[in-house]
Each structure stands twice: as C-alpha cells, then as structure tokens.
C-alpha cells in the first residue's frame, strides 16, 4: 500500500495506514446525542455511563450515572467493552484510556469517542502510546471545531488520520523499550515533584533561623550589640517621631495644618508586653540577646478605610487603593483595580512606601510590602516601621506569624477577624538595626539561591517533559529499536487482514440472505 505523505519517512517494513483501516467493524463510534441519554434516564444502580472523567483521569472505576437494562439494550451501539479505547472529545480533548479487564458494562456519553481495534494487526499498548505521541496528538487536536467549547472533528475526518504501523514483533519491542524508558522518566519526574516542597521548607527554615537569631550567631560574636533596654528606648523615641510625621501628612491631605502643638498630646504610647497565650515555637527559641516586645512598639499601626463608593469624587485619581486580593502569597502587591483621588485621600489613611500590610479579615495572615504610597481597605491593618526597624525584617517576621494570627483570631459574621488592638500585641523580636540589616542580607542571599533552584527546576522539568515527547516521536519514526528483516512487513499483514475482513463480510451477507429466505 502506498504510504501517506503527511507522516515522516518510515522504515521499509512499516506502513502508514488511515486510522479506520486498523479498527474493527463499527470501530469508530461517537457517543449518543444528548436527547438519547438525558438525566431522566438515569437510575440509582445499573449499567455505568462512561463520561470524560474516564479518559481525562485514565480511570474506569468512578461513575456518577447509571441506566437500566432497557436503556442499555436500546443503546447497544454505544456499549463499552473490555479492551475498548475511550477518547475525550469536548473541552479537554484528546485524552485516552484503555478500558481494562473487569471494568463494568456500560455506555459512552455524547462527549466520548469509542475505538475498537483489530488487535491482530496492532497491539493495544502500541496504539495507546502512539495516540499519546505528539505525531497523533497534533493530528487529532488540529481537527477541532467549535467556538467557546472546542470539540473534536467529525468521525469521518478522524478516520482518515494516518497512523505509522510497525510489524507486530517490532511493535512488541517498541512497547518494551518505551515501558523501560518512560519508567525512568517517571522516576525523574517524581523526584522533581518532591523538590518544590523541599525548597519551600528551606525558605521556612531560613526565616525561622533569621528571626530567632540563629542565622547571625557568628555575627554577634564579632560585633558589639546594644542591650535590649537601649534598643527599646530608641524604638519608643522613634515611634513618637514617626506618629507625628504621619499626623502632619494627614493634616496636609485635609488642607488643615495645625496652628499649635496641642495635637501632639493625642499621641498614645504603645501597649506593654505581648500576648503569649499562643506563643509560637519561634518566639520560644529567640536568642536572649534580643529584645522581645510587640508590633505596637516597633511601628505606627493603622487600619484601612474605604472612601464612599457612591461618591465619584473619591475615585479615579493617582493613589493606588489596595485590597487583600492585590496581595500575593509571596508578599508582592499587584496593580489595583481602583485609584483614590486627592479628595478621597483626605478621607482615608494613606500609607507611605515600605509599610507592611497584614490581612486581618477573611484570609488572616497574608502579608504584603508596599512599594509606593497607597490607600487600603478595612480588611487590612498596616504597620509603618519606625526608625530603627528594618522594613524587610518586619516583613519577614510578620510572615512567620501566620499560625499565631489564625489561632488568636475571632469569628464575626462567619469570617475570621483579628482587630488592630489584637494585632498590636502580637510578639515581635527586635535585634539592633545593624543586626537586622545583616539578617536581611543573609535571608535575601539564601532566598536568591532558592529562586535559582526553582528556576533550574522549572527548566529541568520542561526538558524532562520534552524528553517524553521526544522518545515517543522517535519510537513512531522507527528509530527507537532496530528492525528485524525476519519480521513480516506491516503491508503484508494488512493485506491478509483485509482479505479476512472481506471474507467475513461475505459470510455475514450470505447469512443475512439465508435468514431472509428462511422467513419467506
């Protein structure tokens, strides 16, 4: 038989055949129209209805729907037998499963294509691997039709897709070689799949060591450090200065500068101590060389507020408005969907760049770091670091507080919440500003290493994924295993099968003719 032209050049003993040439009679069958298999047909127990779940998950054991004996017989043309192949035809297309021995009797639904092979011509495992190869996947998926929901093309088009067929003995050799190689690839992929968790734990370990003092043990041995009381006195002085600075900014936004210093009397000293009811493992391991106080002592804390959304003059300005959805799990703050105007800015707190955000309603404990001045909503409490408090150290420490915040939160209208007064007394270890700077440097160094590892891992995973496709492509070009001149060429096998098929069809016709004559 002449080889089809849109497949690569094959070994002489191979042959390109149209897909329908290797299927059994009625080997291509698309599922019944929806009207033939409606939900009103389903019963609690009975024959299984095979859905796209089977090929997408390569699983023929889970079913949602069943039909009774009468409906099963009515849909006899759509029965599923052991050894059939089921292909997903809508949405997630081109997935395939081989129905194993012992699978329940049932029918296909409208989103499946059922394939039955002449297995004396092509081995099932050979076909399964061939179908999953880029050669056939590209051919199948290029024949999609439809708009929002893509569907495979009509069966008559799929039947003409050319398949490269090796002699039966070589098919067996290819299967054995692929099983060996792909098992090795799977082992590598499983190892790669374990690495993200290892890298995640590495980052967590770095943070734990950083905020407990273990990361800078050697640094403290060769550097002079302040006593905890000196650190606290410096922070308290710096906190009052930061509060006054932010109050003046607020006055300026409202256009009402104070005429005297009486406003300074409204300053409230930070709360003393910290809540240890839910003391974390990290706090317990903090070095004795450091001060341990609370977040209220190291920052000016502010709760967000949303300007009236019915007043258009509050919006469409230049000041970003941040909500929890703009804070990523890594702590970045993405571009907001709304911006506050100058008028709106007079009605809501505006945080300076480098403030630390903590989500305190709903997704408790998500932490972000502002890279520009911004307004923010009431689901967020923010900390403006005082002089003597490194913004990144405060950010890293806040990220370790996730469990503490969730344990100490309360529920209001079915939502978890931790208010500003509660957050204020969250514990916070404080080394000197010099040691904080060294800690941040080391953390960023280790995190950069983790980033490099993740990037290399992603590249390696991509190469392994490509390797699988490369191996399959090579297999079905006839390049994976050597050809054996003693193998019966595929074209001769096909000719014998065609002859046998014609003979079977003649016998079937004669039998039908005899049956009609008997009835007469």
List per-residue pLDDT tens for the chain, 520 residues long: 444 444 568 899 999 999 888 888 788 999 998 778 888 899 999 999 999 999 999 999 999 999 999 999 999 999 999 999 999 988 888 899 999 999 999 999 999 999 999 877 899 999 999 999 988 888 887 765 544 455 676 788 888 889 999 999 999 999 999 999 999 999 999 999 999 999 999 999 999 999 999 999 999 999 988 888 898 899 999 999 999 999 999 999 998 899 999 999 999 999 888 876 655 667 888 999 999 999 999 999 999 999 999 999 999 999 999 999 999 988 899 989 899 999 999 999 999 999 999 999 888 889 999 999 999 999 999 999 999 999 999 999 999 888 888 777 765 555 678 888 888 989 999 999 999 999 999 999 999 999 999 999 999 989 988 899 999 999 999 999 999 999 989 888 888 777 766 776 677 677 767 766 666 5
Cα–Cα distance, 239 to 388 (Å, whole number):
9
Q: Is 109 exposed, middle or buried (0-12, 13-18, 19+ CB in 10 A)?
A: buried
pLDDT of 36 reads: 84
Task: Give which of 415, 410, 419, 317 is closest to 358, Cα–Cα.
Answer: 419
Element (H, E) at 367: strand 367-369
pLDDT of 2 reads: 42
pLDDT of 505 reads: 67
Q: Model-level pTM?
A: 0.73
Alpha-helix runs per DSSP H in 325-401: 342-345, 391-399
pLDDT of 278 reads: 59
Q: Residue 49 in contact with residue 63, Cβ under 8 Å?
A: yes
Q: Residue 108 in contact with residue 80, Cβ under 8 Å?
A: yes
């Amino acid at each position: 038989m002449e080889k089809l032209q849109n497949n690569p050049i094959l070994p002489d003993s191979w042959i390109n055949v149209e897909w329908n040439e290797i299927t059994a009679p009625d080997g291509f069958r698309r599922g019944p129209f929806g009207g033939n298999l409606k939900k009103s047909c389903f019963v609690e127990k009975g024959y299984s209805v095979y859905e796209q779940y089977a090929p997408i998950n390569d699983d023929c054991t889970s079913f949602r729907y069943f039909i009774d004996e009468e409906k099963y017989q009515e849909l006899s043309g759509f029965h599923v037998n052991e050894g059939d192949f089921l292909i997903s035809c809508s949405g997630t297309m081109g997935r395939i499963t081989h129905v194993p021995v012992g699978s329940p009797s049932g029918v296909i639904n409208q989103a499946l294509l059922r394939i039955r092979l002449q297995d004396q011509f092509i081995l099932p495992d050979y076909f399964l691997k061939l179908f999953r190869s880029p050669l056939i996947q590209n051919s199948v998926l290029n024949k999609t039709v439809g708009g929002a929901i893509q569907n495979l093309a009509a069966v008559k088009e799929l039947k003409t897709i050319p398949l490269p067929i090796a002699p039966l003995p070589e098919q067996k050799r290819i299967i054995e070689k692929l099983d060996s190689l792909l098992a090795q690839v799977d082992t590598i992929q499983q190892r790669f799949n374990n690495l993200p968790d290892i890298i995640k734990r590495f980052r967590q370990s770095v943070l734990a060591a950083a905020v407990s003092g273990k990361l800078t043990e050697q640094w403290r041995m060769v550097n002079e450090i302040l006593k905890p009381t000196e650190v606290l006195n410096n922070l308290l002085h710096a906190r009052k200065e930061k509060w006054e600075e932010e109050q003046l900014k607020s006055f300026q936004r409202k256009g009402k500068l104070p005429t005297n210093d009486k406003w300074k009397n409204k300053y409230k000293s930070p709360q003393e101590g910290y809540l240890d009811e839910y003391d974390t493992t990290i706090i317990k391991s903090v070095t004795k060389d450091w001060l341990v106080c609370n977040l209220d002592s190291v920052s000016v804390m502010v709760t967000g507020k949303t300007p009236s959304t019915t007043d258009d003059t509050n919006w469409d300005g230049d000041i970003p408005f941040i909500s929890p959805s703009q804070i990523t799990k890594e702590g970045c703050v993405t571009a907001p969907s709304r911006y506050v105007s100058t008028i709106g800015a007079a009605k809501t707190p505006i945080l300076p760049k480098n403030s630390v955000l903590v989500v305190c309603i709903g997704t408790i404990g998500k932490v972000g770091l502002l890279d520009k001045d911004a307004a923010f909503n009431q689901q967020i409490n923010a900390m403006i670091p005082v002089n003597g408090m490194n913004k990144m150290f405060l950010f890293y420490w806040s990220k370790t507080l996730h469990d503490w915040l969730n344990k100490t939160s309360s529920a209001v209208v079915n939502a978890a919440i931790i208010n500003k007064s509660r957050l204020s007394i969250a514990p916070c270890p404080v080394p000197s500003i010099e040691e904080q700077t060294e800690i941040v440097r080391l953390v960023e160094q280790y995190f950069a290493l983790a980033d490099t590892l993740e990037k290399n891992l992603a590249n390696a995973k991509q190469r392994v994924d490509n390797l699988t496709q490369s191996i399959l492509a090579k297999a079905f070009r006839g390049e994976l295993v050597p050809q054996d001149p003693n193998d019966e060429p595929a074209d001769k096998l096909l000719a014998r099968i065609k002859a046998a098929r014609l003979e079977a069809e003649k016998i079937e016709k004669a039998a039908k003719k005899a049956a009609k004559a008997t009835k007469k």
